């Protein structure tokens, strides 16, 4: 068994745990909305057609925010299509995913669902085919109490109180050549600045997210962020980061070290934002909204949209089935997000239901949890107080993609008010168990509350509607606290949570 030493100390504080780190994403894509959150024929459906079993699992997942309605979809979306009497709403071609959008679910329905699921809505505006005026109109509909055309339209549609949406994304992935209305950095930066300025004239308290580059592998990465922030720095609060390119392609060791790549991504965007800050000579800092992230197997058949004359409603798209190794990587990516809580102020796991999602449904039928459900639910439920950087003394191993990586990665949270400490750790070894020896002497008097491990001798095990429980976090009986040290044995390819308190 490989020994690894970790040191936990409240002096290693990074910043507060941010509830918005545990956000998710609902896009009009595939079966995320239709037969996902909305399925009127389902036995659990409420009067609005929302599946209560999905709402229950969303609550169990402890999702904080949900980004809506896209994603690529938003760059061609006319929000007015999704309000008013459902029978009078138009069907439209969705160019982003080569589908038909019936607009059965729109803004008001989503807001009702968000209230039922106890999540904060994070709205995106269309800056692909639309611009300043349409964004201001949407904000007026959502946030103005009444007395104007769009606020009174909301009231006429049965919603007297404003929605008071705080977080707004200024478009989506506008540097991507796949994006409807994609733009150069200068074009987008000016449009984001103008849109943000006008939106703040309506509601000064909103928080605005500018589009960062669509990914670190994009040729625009870095320079895009610099130009966009040079143009829009004064009007925005955060810049987005998106990453999906982590997948297991026969190189399990590199895949398990994917979080090192997220670390580099965050640090690069932070450095760029701070360089613009220095150039502008201002005190304000721009933080990161990592509002699309996940493991995604993009080369699989289910990731290819329909084509030709086929424009179906809610086709099967991006329905990846996740295994144990995928769950360990998702847990490690959460560790990375927490470790950067000083600069990552919001994040969204993409997506919530059916589309590269932790929750899967059958139309009119069963629901189940993917393996990736568990690390997200545990991190969201148990991370509280302050994030602590963990000093790790671990052997390294060589990866083809990321160079040398620690065999173990970990982060901790410390809630001084409740006296609770939680350690989140992954073992990236593909073959060897590890003995974690954690020095807790700087936080005396802690006792073990719970230790759990998610692993399986077969790291390719995948949950199904027939079995989503035989491989799940289970009690780790090896954990013990003695003389200010915690020891616990963790198997290879594993996600581990240890909770302590006074």
List the CATH number of the domain containing 181.
3.20.20.80
CA 328 to chain centre: 16
Question: Same domain, yes or no, for 341 and 359?
Answer: yes
CB-based contact 440:423 (threshold 8 Å): no
Question: Cα-flanking dihedrals φ and ψ of residue 501, to 5°?
Answer: -160, 180
Q: Give the span between the Cα atoms of 232 and 195, in whole angstroms.
A: 10
pTM over the 0.75 mark: yes
pLDDT at residue number 291: 97
Same domain for 216 and 341, yes or no, is yes
CB atoms within 10 A of CB 278: 9
Please report the pLDDT score of residue 489 as a whole number. 98
Lookup: tokens for 486: 């915690």
Interior CA angle at 223 toward 219 and 226, to 5°? 150
Active site residue 450: no
Among 333, 351, 382, identify where a domain stops: 382
Q: How far apart are CA 313 and CA 383, in angstroms?
A: 39
**351 contact partners, CB below 8 Å, separation of at least 6:** 24, 25, 26, 27, 29, 32, 294, 357
pLDDT at 374: 98
Q: What DSSP element (H or E) covers 363? A: none
Of 288, 307, 286, 304, residue with least CA distance to 296: 304
Q: Is the peptide bond between 319 and the residue preceding it cis, with omega within 30 degrees of 0? A: no
CA 89 to chain centre: 30
Are residues 461 and 350 located together in one domain of the fold? no
Looking at the fold, whether 370 and 428 belong to one and the same domain comes out as: no
Indicate the Cα dihedral angle 24, 383, 208, 340, nearest 10°: -110
Pair 428, 395: CB distance under 8 Å: no
The domain boundary, picked from 335, 351, 382, lies at 382
Residue 229, classified by CB atoms within 10 Å of its CB into exposed (0-12), middle (13-18) or buried (19+), is buried
370/408 same-domain check: no
By DSSP bridging, strand 420-427 and strand 207-210 are unpaired
- Whether residues 392 and 346 fall in one domain: no
User: In terms of domains, do 410 and 445 share one?
Assistant: yes
> How far apart are alpha carbons 190 and 198 in whole angstroms?
12
Q: Are 326 and 400 in a shared domain?
A: no
First-to-last alpha carbon distance for the chain, in angstroms, is 30
pLDDT for 500 equals: 98
Say which of 27, 109, 134, 173 is annotated catalytic: 173
Same domain, 369 and 221: yes
Q: Residue 97: helix, strand or coil by DSSP?
A: coil
Residue at token pair 């802690």? 446
Handedness of CA 70, 76, 82, 84 (dihedral sign): positive
223 and 362 assigned to the same domain? yes
Alpha carbon distance 79, 336 (integer Å): 35
Is there a contact between 141 and 111 (Cβ–Cβ < 8 Å)? no
Range of the domain at 157: 18-382
Residue with tokens 């003995």: 435
Q: 45 phi and psi, to 5 degrees?
A: -60, 140
**Total domains, the chain:** 2
What one-character-per-residue DSSP string does 408-424 give?
EEEEEEEETTTTEEEEE
187 is catalytic: no
Let me know: does 6 contact 424? Beta carbons within 8 Å: no
- pLDDT tens, N- to C-terminus, the chain (502 residues): 999 999 999 999 999 999 999 999 999 999 999 999 999 999 999 999 999 999 999 999 999 999 999 999 999 999 999 999 999 999 999 999 999 999 999 999 999 999 999 999 999 999 999 999 999 999 999 999 999 999 999 999 999 999 999 999 999 999 999 999 999 999 999 999 999 999 999 999 999 999 999 999 999 999 999 999 999 999 999 999 999 989 999 999 999 999 999 999 999 999 999 999 999 999 999 999 999 999 999 988 888 899 999 999 999 999 999 999 999 999 999 999 999 999 999 999 999 999 999 999 999 999 999 999 999 999 999 999 999 999 999 999 999 999 999 999 999 999 999 999 999 999 999 999 999 999 999 999 999 999 999 999 999 999 999 999 999 999 999 999 999 999 999 999 999 999 999 9
CA atoms within a 13 Å half-sphere pointing along the CA-CB vector of 383: 32
CA distances for 2 relative to 336, 403, 406, 420, angstroms: 23, 20, 12, 28
Rounded distance between C-alpha atoms, residue 307 and residue 47, angstroms: 35
213/170 same-domain check:
yes
Same domain, 356 and 395: no
Domain final residue, candidates 327, 347, 382 = 382
Catalytic residue among 134, 231, 292, 489: 292
CATH number at residue 430: 2.60.40.1180
């Amino acid at each position: 068994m490989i020994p690894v030493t970790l040191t936990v100390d409240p002096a290693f504080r990074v910043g507060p745990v941010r509830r918005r780190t545990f956000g998710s994403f609902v896009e009009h894509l595939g079966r995320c909305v239709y037969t996902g959150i909305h399925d009127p024929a389902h036995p659990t459906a409420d009067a609005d057609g929302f599946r209560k079993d999905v709402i229950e699992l969303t609550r169990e997942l402890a999702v904080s925010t949900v980004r809506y309605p896209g994603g690529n979809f938003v760059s061609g979306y006319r929000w007015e299509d999704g309000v008013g009497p459902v029978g009078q709403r138009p069907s439209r071609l969705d160019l982003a995913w080569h589908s038909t959008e019936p607009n059965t679910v729109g803004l008001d329905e989503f807001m009702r669902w968000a209230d039922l699921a106890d999540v904060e809505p994070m709205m995106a505006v269309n800056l692909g085919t639309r611009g300043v005026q349409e964004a201001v109109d949407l904000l007026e509909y959502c946030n103005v109490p009444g007395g104007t055309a769009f606020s009174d339209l909301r009231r006429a549609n049965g919603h007297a109180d404003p929605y008071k949406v705080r977080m707004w994304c200024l478009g989506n992935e506008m540097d991507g050549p796949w994006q409807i209305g994609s733009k150069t950095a200068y074009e987008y930066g000016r449009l984001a600045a103008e849109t943000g300025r006008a939106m703040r004239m309506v509601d000064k308290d909103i928080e605005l997210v500018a589009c960062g580059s669509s990914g670190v592998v994009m040729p625009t990465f870095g320079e895009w962020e610099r130009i966009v922030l040079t143009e829009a720095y004064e009007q925005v609060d955060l810049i987005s980061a998106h990453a999906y390119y982590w997948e297991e392609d026969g190189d399990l060791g590199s895949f398990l070290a994917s979080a090192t790549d997220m670390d580099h991504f965050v640090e690069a965007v932070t450095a760029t934002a701070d360089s613009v800050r220095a150039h502008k000579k201002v005190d304000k800092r721009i933080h990161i909204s990592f509002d699309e992230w996940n493991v995604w197997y993009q080369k699989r058949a289910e990731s290819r949209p329909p084509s030709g004359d086929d424009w179906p409603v809610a086709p099967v798209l991006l329905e990846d089935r996740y295994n144990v190794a995928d769950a360990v990587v998702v847990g490690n990516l959460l560790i990375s997000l927490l470790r950067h809580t000083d600069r990552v102020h919001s994040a969204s796991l993409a997506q919530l239901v059916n589309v590269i999602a932790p929750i899967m449904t059958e139309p009119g039928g069963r629901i189940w949890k993917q393996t990736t459900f568990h690390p997200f639910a545990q991190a969201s439920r148990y991370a509280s107080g302050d994030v602590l950087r963990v000093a790790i003394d671990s052997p390294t191993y060589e990866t083809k993609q990321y160079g040398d990586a620690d065999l173990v990665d970990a982060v901790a949270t410390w809630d001084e008010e409740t006296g609770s400490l939680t350690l989140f750790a992954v073992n990236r070894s593909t073959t060897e168990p590890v003995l974690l020896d954690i020095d807790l002497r700087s936080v005396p008097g802690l006792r073990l509350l719970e230790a759990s491990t998610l692993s399986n001798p077969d790291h390719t095990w995948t949950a199904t509607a027939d079995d989503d429980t035989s491989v799940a976090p289970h009690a780790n009986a090896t954990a013990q606290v003695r003389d200010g040290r915690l020891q616990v044995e963790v198997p290879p390819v594993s996600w581990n949570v240890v909770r302590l308190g006074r």
